[in-house]
Amino acid sequence: MDTTHAPAAATVTRVLLAEDHTIVREGLRALLSRCADLAVIGEADDGEACVRECEKLSPDVVVMDLSMPKLDGVSATRAVSNLGVKVLVLSMHGGDEYVRPAVRAGASGYLLKGNGLSQLVDAIRAIARGETYFGAGVKDPGVAVAKVPTDADPGLTPRECEVLQHVAYGRSSVEIGELLGVSPKTVETHRARLMVKLDAPNSAALVRSAIRLGLVPLDDREPR
């Protein structure tokens, strides 16, 4: 497939790149510049900057990394989705514990960084048309899109959902902090709030709550 030429009579899709690694942003910009129907109109190196740029530039699609400073990608996805901007997550991680929070926050698609340019371009074009797109290697996208029933939703924030998922997989506060880019103390604060919200007196009860809410599959011991 030739991705460097726009479909006939195509309008230009305005793209914003949200990625904290400069070399990755530069590479994405160079690749997308080969497509006549895609225009990179802005960049952001953290989640807060992404939201500000979306408010200022009103892009059609944001290509969003999940691991960013100041404001994580899931929270940034929620914020820009509320502005009417479509989001394509581009991440190193394809496990359900990453995909599900992103989709719940409003992401229209999810793609792994190991995929090629043609998939990235196809994903951006599909999302700009109002479709969803889940790339090769993304784990169980159909399950990830499923919503928690309203009467079972305890009102967890996206970050609390992330922490709860990692707790359910048996990770320590130090490990969770490294994965989410926060301190172990912050993780412990989230854990304490989860125990109150879920009426869970211990870690075993938190795991049961995660399964009940559909945040982790019952038969999945460890994300892949």
- Round to whole Å and give the CA distance between 175 and 80: 28
pTM of the model: 0.63
User: Is-contact 154 198, C-beta < 8 A?
Assistant: yes
Q: How do the domains of the chain map onto residue ranges?
A: 13-145, 150-212
The CATH number of domain 13-145 is 2.40.50.140: no
Give tens-digit pLDDT for 38-96.
999 999 999 899 999 999 999 999 999 988 888 888 888 988 988 899 999 998 888 77
User: Is-contact 210 216, C-beta < 8 A?
Assistant: yes
The CATH number of domain 150-212 is 2.40.10.120: no
With 0-12 / 13-18 / 19 or more C-beta atoms within 10 angstroms meaning exposed / middle / buried, residue 62 is buried
**Interval 146-175 mean pLDDT:** 72
